[in-house]
Chain A
Amino acid sequence: MIELVRRVVREEPDRLALVTGRATLDYADLLAAALRVAAVLRADGITRFAVADFEADVVLPCLLGASATGAEACILPPDDAATVADLVARFGHEVVLTDRTDLDLPATRLVPTSAWLTPELQAADAELQAVDAELQAVDAARPHLVLTTGTTGKPRGVRQDWARLVRSTARVADGRGERWLLAYGLHQFAGLQILLHTMAAGATLVAPAPRRPREGLAAMRTYDVTHASATPTYWRFLLAELRSDGGPVPALQQITLGGEAAPGPVLDQLRATFATANLSHVYAASEFGATGSTRDGRPGLPIEVLERGDDADIAMKVVDGELWVRSRIGMLGYHGEPEVDPDTWRATGDLVEVVDGRILFRGRASEIINVGGVKVHPLPIEETVAAVPGVAVARVFGRPNAMTGAIVAVEVVPEPDADPDAVKAAVRDACAGLPAAARPRSVRIVDAVQTAGDKIVRRTGEQ
């Protein structure tokens, strides 16, 4: 991955690489910081480490430095101390780079970020160039560990290979002048994708912290962001923020959605709000990588993706209403498990339906609500509710019930000026025509809906 940065440095070393709320790095700065990390990793014989830090000016050099030396890095999510301790133990990390003072990890070597990243404590430029030359001659595996967001259970460790990840950027066009918002954490696979795309394009990464829609909107305005990629849930909240604060609409050129099915109403709202932006969505996952980008602005995938043939890096098929993928640019395997065969077909857990030449997403298999023996998909109901005037965000999920096993429940975050009782009544009216089992039997007004990794959690029982 570091080669992507070297390439820009050779062309234009002072091109802006990273902007955060506290730091600005050009590509030469970024390469130097990465080489400092690499030098420390090699000197200390570190082949595996975790990072408990959210700031991109810390995480990015660590990822680059690790990819250069072949050390396996793992960026931990910004969770509470107990969760971080659990993850460190479960994934056997002996070295953790962090400035957090709340972590109690007695069996782990905690390294302050200054030890790896403070320039004056590190090698001089000439030494770094020597390190760089040595690293370029290294022919080793380039592993990376990504933790899943845990929307379907406990996070799993997905072992990636930087060479495969970089291969997916082969067709990225020159993007100098583009400013990409980092709306995901760099601990997420989607965050890595944005990072890889930005570096491959030679563009600038704008990384506010924390990565909430409010901060994202502020960063768009402050740093003239031109491109942004986020989940539909993130975009829903950003649109709500935009309506609420009444400030200027950022002049985005490109809007990308991923991580969840992209509902038609969200696409319509984005199109209406950001009139000059191109709209696309990506279908990707930690396990199988990115399948490509759909740029026609319509929900779902074109049916042609099912006809890619045996030579394609990624092929897809539909089996019993579920999307299956065969990926040669996907993960090496799960942490602690044998490597997977890249020619093996795997079920994605995404339920789909082919309608008029389009593969439409109907929800996750794990999200199906069993209402008295009737299987109900929450996503179409959620789309119906989200389209009701006065609804800012909606979440549909299965609520356990002694009578029927589960009922369809909906939580609604209303628009700021909406009357909650009127919104509840309107939601019920909008759903009155649904089959009886699919009709929401519990409608609640809430301040926020439960999310994980900026995706709405819809598992039965998650209230």
Chain B
Amino acid sequence: MATAIRRLEESDSVESFDCGDEPLNNYLKRHAWNNQQKSSIGVTYVAVEELAPGAVIGYFTLATSSAPRDSFPKKYVRGLPAYDVPVILLARLAVDRRFGRRGLGRELLSAALRVSLRVSKEVGCRCVIVDAYPTAMPWYRSYGFTALEESKSGAVRMYLDIRTIEAARSVS
């Protein structure tokens, strides 16, 4: 299956997308385009099959954000720059369940991390943050994401240093 990953376009067919999670389906169908084009809240990248280039089979959404330096514990503040820390938020990542178990999630994550590396070079950022469902945590952990706070229910915020991503690319 040859796939391409690119920015979401208005003409993309998203109505049949089904990752098995209603909030993630709903975001792509109802909000992704408006949030990208009109509100500038997040940029969505979609995976499409080259044979059916308008039908979305997976997606992720990225935005930039920051962590307020003033709120860091005093013992760490001295070693950090005197500014809020810029981060990239991997806000959503989902694969249509009909296309699961084919490595598409890895392809999407890889594309998201490549964009993050480019961002770090263009405007600066220190890490990628993802709010992962507890069931997805082991998957993110396998790529080196670390939980910032353990939680038994709800999404868990996870961290991956941009320098680790850069190192992975240098090894590759």
Q: Do A and B come from one complex?
A: no
Name B's A-contacting residues (CB within 8 A). none
